[in-house]
Amino acid sequence: MSTFALDQIQQQLPDALVERYVDRAGDAWGVIKPERIQDTARLLKDKLGFRLFVSMDAVDRLHLPPEEQSPRFEVLYFICSPERSEHVRLKVRADEGQEVPTIRFIYQGANWAERFVWDFYGVPFKGHGDLRRMLMYEEFVGHALRKDYPLRGRQGLIAERPIKDIFRGPGTNGVAE
């Protein structure tokens, strides 16, 4: 397995990399400090040619063994270089309510991915600017993929939203005033 990207991050941004390990399948992972994720992303995209944004998600570590529970969330970043056929797997650890800097303006694909993470885990992204929910509706309370959100945590019907954005044309449009 090629570990070019992580080697380069370790060399060029030694203080950004908190931890580095290899998983059971032999793939390398890097844990990045939250405040350095933008620098890392810029290095990957501009200098190392990792231009293909793949995906983002998060893990709620609430039910893991005690030594792995803090900080509570792990935000995952997958970025790829088509030329090298190499995926780089990065993680950022953040506590409840702690803001992670956005990489939306470095990789445009992260826009929706960060909205997804916010929607389901409640990890806020600093500087995102448009952090609406992605799949759930705005009135939904809580974050559904957190481990303390119940499996059958149904929520009641929401009130009908006022319709503002329908233009009915000049006049009363057949509706008696």
Partner 1 sequence: MAQAGDDYDPTPSEDELEAHLQTRNMEINLGPSHPATHGTVRLKLELDGETIVKMDPEIGFLHRGFQKSCENVTWTQCIPYTDRLDYVASLTCNFGFITAVEKLMGVEIPERAKYIRVIGAELHRIASHLTTAGALGLELGGFAAFLYAIEGRELITDRVTELTGARLTTNYGRIGGMNRDLPPGWEENVLKSLVKIEQYAAEVDGLLTRNRIFADRVRGTGVISKDDALDFGFSGPCLRACGVKYDVRKNKPYWVYDKLDFEVPVASDGDNFARYYLRVLEIEQSIRMIRQAIDMMPGGPVMVDDWRIALPPKDQVYSTIEGVIAHFKLVMEGVPVPVGEVYHATESANGELGWYLKSDGSGRPYKVHVRAPGFQLLSALPRMCEGRMLADLIPTFDTINMIGGEVEQ
The residues binding partner 1 (CB under 8 A) are 23-25, 27, 29, 51-55, 57, 59, 63-65, 76, 78, 80, 82, 85, 87, 89, 107-109, 111-113, 116, 120, 133-137, 144-145, 149, 151, 164-171
* Residue 15 or 160 with smaller CB distance to partner 1: 160
What is the smallest separation between the CB atom of 139 and partner 1, expressed in angstroms? 13
Q: How far apart are CA 94 and CA 50, in angstroms?
A: 24
- Concatenating the DSSP letter of every residue in 106-130 gives TSTTHHHHHHHHHHHH---EET-S-
* Residue 18 or 144 with smaller CB distance to partner 1: 144
Task: Name the percent of the chain in helix, strand, coil, to the closest 5.
Answer: 20, 25, 55
What is the smallest separation between the CB atom of 123 and partner 1, expressed in angstroms? 14
Q: How far apart are CA 64 and CA 35, in angstroms?
A: 25
* Residue 15 or 68 with smaller CB distance to partner 1: 68
The residue to which tokens 């039910």 are assigned = 63
What is the smallest separation between the CB atom of 22 and partner 1, expressed in angstroms? 11
